[in-house]
Structure 1
Amino acid sequence: MRFLLISFFIFISCSLTAYSQPSSDKLIRKGVSLHDKGRYNDAISYYQQALKANPSSMSATYEMALSYLMLKDYDNALKYSTKVINANFKPLLVDAYCVKSTALSEMNKLDQSIKLLNEGLERCGDEYLIHYNLGLSYFKMKNLRLSIYHLQKAIEIDTTHPSAFLLYAYVLSDSERWVQSFMAFHFFLLLEPNTDRSKDAFGEMYDIITQKIPNGSPLLTPEDGIDRQKLYDQLRNIQPKIDDQRFQYAFFEQASRQIFFTLGQMQDDSRKGLLWDFFVPIYSEILESGYFDTYCRYTSVSYFPVSLEWWNSNTNKVDGFISWFEDGQGTTANDNDDFGDDSDM
């Protein structure tokens, strides 16, 4: 299920009109519309008509490959994506590599998938989607070290795609790097707060901060200079005694504040890497912004009904936080107009 949720967002929608002949334009657009509605066989029939009108249309060829992939017809997905790759059609070359590699992966040909994606890196350069798919393929092979490497590359190239952060969080969790996994889950939820996979991700993140770790466990040894024993003891001291969502939400907020503050206090010029150069600075700013409670409500809305109630009653605050974040931070909630009264927790 995890792979299904993660893989669902592998591909980017592409504008096709610039790359096809006018006679096949309308047919391709109709096919794409049907594909987006899940009518893959109907979409393919339109792409076939487009190819009759313009046999050299790489846009129709690529869309055929993608629809066949969604139908799990991997042989045809390979056939048509290979045509795009062999034609070296630059506008869709990265996407074609992703379709073909995914088809190979689903056929349990992971070695071939990884070889193909590395070829894609050589031909296309450092592309987010190729690194992401390499991260996914290595994860399936249980090569967590290389999975982490390529997912970090994907995130460094583009910090706006939720799927990379979600998979990164799972890989870090499987690597027993629970503090960094917690941070990655948080950022995924910041980008995608209210979907089915958001609820699953929040549950995974909440399990991280409520887990019971035996004394002497490797999970309590230092992680990239972080005193995990100290953090764990702090979290155990504030865990809710009552199984009620309001207390659980309060614990989530307190635990997040504690972890963000502790890592922010540790940061200095000697610490490098994605954790210290990306995650810690962002969450230190959120802590200082005056929007922290709003942020916690925002990222927990898929999991806690009380957060959804709060969201619906405080849309101005939510909009204010989103504007603050999208504008590159720099102000605090106190610098803005009054947003209205909070709802009760």
Structure 2
Amino acid sequence: MYWKRVVLFCLILNGTSAWAQKTMEEYVKEGIDYHDRGQYDLAIEAYQQALAINENSDLVNYEIAMTYHFAKQYDKALAHADKVIQLNEKYLIPAYTTKGNCLDAMGQSEEAIKTYQEALARLGDNYLLYYNMALTYYNMNRSEASEAAALQAIRINPKHASSHLLLGYLLRDQEKKVQSILSLHYFLFLEPHSSRSKGAFDLLTDQFYGNVEKGGGSDVTINLSSGSLDKKNEFGSAELMISMLAASNNLEENKDKSTEELFVSNSESFFKILGEIKKKKYRGLWWEFYVPFYYDMAQTWHLETYCYYISQSDNPEAQAWLKANTKRLDLFNAWLSKR
């Protein structure tokens, strides 16, 4: 009878082990949880367990590729991203972007660009592919190509905040002040209180007010850019307007206005002058997307709400205003929903 008891005990153990075995989906969930906490080694262990169940899972191969990328183990990330691409099922776009990002991080930027071009040819236009291509071009100091790719990403998906943010920094580097300000405005409209928002708002206001120096008494020095004086520059008059607005903040009539109030009035004037310039029938995303949106808003009382809304990331006054004016915010959202 002893051997029967041993056999029975072993059967119970085996049954318990089988019952306790995690599914592939459970390992994936565990891996994602570890990844989100920054515990990449534990995430990779979980994904490896999932791959032991199904080594041809496109989901698992993509997730482990992304985690290897974050862990800066780029060769391993590339192997799994290529596996997803070879499987030709789901997750192709994120696999291509992961592969491109890894190649860029490894100093193989030209190969990264080829990766995005291959993906676009194979899968068609996609804003994430164009955005990552723009980012790679930006890292290569190829500003014109970066701008073109970022603009294409925005044409496909105007709500992709990162494309507007990248464009804002890129155009700042090119000293295209008006376009940079418009891009940063729209980024902040989409993402007003993230970890990136304060830096974007600071860059916006630096460009809006940065060319004016206050001297002794009421003296003000305006540093005009070459672009504002170039008659061929379609944004030249708007750049000049920015300088005038910044200088006007020091006038006696504005001395009692708060920083927030000045930002509202300056933004209104800026958007209205751009709307007037647009009547010259300029073309392109700036004139057909950004300018009409802000010009229309500048004709309404919602502009004040908007200005406080995009200023809230590190501004207690803006946060207090929004808290005290929830009805205004609701009306602003209703106006936006009708556009």
- What range is the shorter-chain TM-score in? 0.7 to 0.9
Cα distance per residue 1:78-125 (max 9 Å; x no partner): 111111112223x21110110011111111211111111111111111
1:227 to 218, 234, 237: 237
Post-superposition offset of 1:277: 0.6
After TM superposition, the structure 1 = structure 2 runs for residues 157-196 of structure 1, keeping only pairs within 5 Å, are 157-196=156-195
Residue 239 of structure 1 aligns with which residue?
A: 249
**Secondary structure class of the residue paired with 1:196:** coil
Cα distance in 2 for residues equivalent to 1:297 and 1:225? 26
Residue 10 of structure 1 aligns with which residue?
A: none
Structure 2 residue 207 is the aligned partner of structure 1 residue 197: no
Post-superposition offset of 1:239: 2.6
Post-superposition offset of 1:43: 1.8
Q: Which runs of 5+ in 2 are unaligned?
A: 1-21, 213-221
**Change over 3 Å in CA distance of 1:231–1:43 after alignment to 2:** same
Post-superposition offset of 1:290: 2.2
Residue 73 of structure 1 aligns with which residue?
A: 73
Cα distance in 2 for residues equivalent to 1:275 and 1:52? 51
What is the one-letter code of the residue matched to 1:32? I
Cα distance in 2 for residues equivalent to 1:174 and 1:215? 17
**Change over 3 Å in CA distance of 1:201–1:285 after alignment to 2:** same
Cα distance in 1 for residues equivalent to 2:338 and 2:256? 32
Cα distance in 2 for residues equivalent to 1:34 and 1:322? 37
Q: Which runs of 5+ in 1 are unaligned?
A: 1-21, 330-345
Q: Would you say how many aligned residue pairs link Structure 1 and Structure 2? A: 305
Post-superposition offset of 1:232: 3.5
CA contact (8 A) 1:246 1:306 kept: no
Post-superposition offset of 1:246: 6.6
Range that drifts further, 208-217 or 158-167: 208-217
Structure 2 residue 130 is the aligned partner of structure 1 residue 128: no
Residue 15 of structure 2 aligns with which residue?
A: none
What is the one-letter code of the residue matched to 1:298? Y
What is the one-letter code of the residue matched to 2:259? Q
Cα distance in 1 for residues equivalent to 2:256 and 2:193? 17
**Secondary structure class of the residue paired with 2:56:** coil
Post-superposition offset of 1:34: 2.6
What is the one-letter code of the residue matched to 1:62? Y
After TM superposition, the structure 1 = structure 2 runs for residues 1-345 of structure 1, keeping only pairs within 5 Å, are 23-89=23-89, 91-212=90-211, 217-222=225-230, 223-228=233-238, 230-240=240-250, 247-268=258-279, 270-325=281-336, 327-329=337-339
CA contact (8 A) 2:275 2:295 kept: yes
CA contact (8 A) 1:240 1:248 kept: no
What is the percent sequence identity of the aligned residues?
33
Calculate the aligned-residue CA RMSD, in Å: 2.2
Post-superposition offset of 1:285: 2.1
Larger relative contact order (CA 8 Å, sep ≥ 6): 1
Cα distance in 2 for residues equivalent to 1:319 and 1:68? 43
**Secondary structure class of the residue paired with 1:278:** helix
Post-superposition offset of 1:269: 7.1
Post-superposition offset of 1:205: 0.4
Post-superposition offset of 1:127: 0.7
CA contact (8 A) 1:23 1:54 kept: no
What is the one-letter code of the residue matched to 2:100? S
Cα distance in 2 for residues equivalent to 1:166 and 1:60? 31
Cα distance per residue 1:209-250 (max 9 Å; x no partner): 1122765632323432541453134223323479x9973222
**Change over 3 Å in CA distance of 1:304–1:69 after alignment to 2:** same
Structure index of larger Rg? 2
What is the one-letter code of the residue matched to 2:247? N
Post-superposition offset of 1:313: 1.9
**Secondary structure class of the residue paired with 2:314:** coil
What is the one-letter code of the residue matched to 1:307? A
Query: Structure 1: which 4+ aligned runs deviate by more than 3 Å?
Result: 213-217
Range that drifts further, 267-276 or 218-227: 218-227
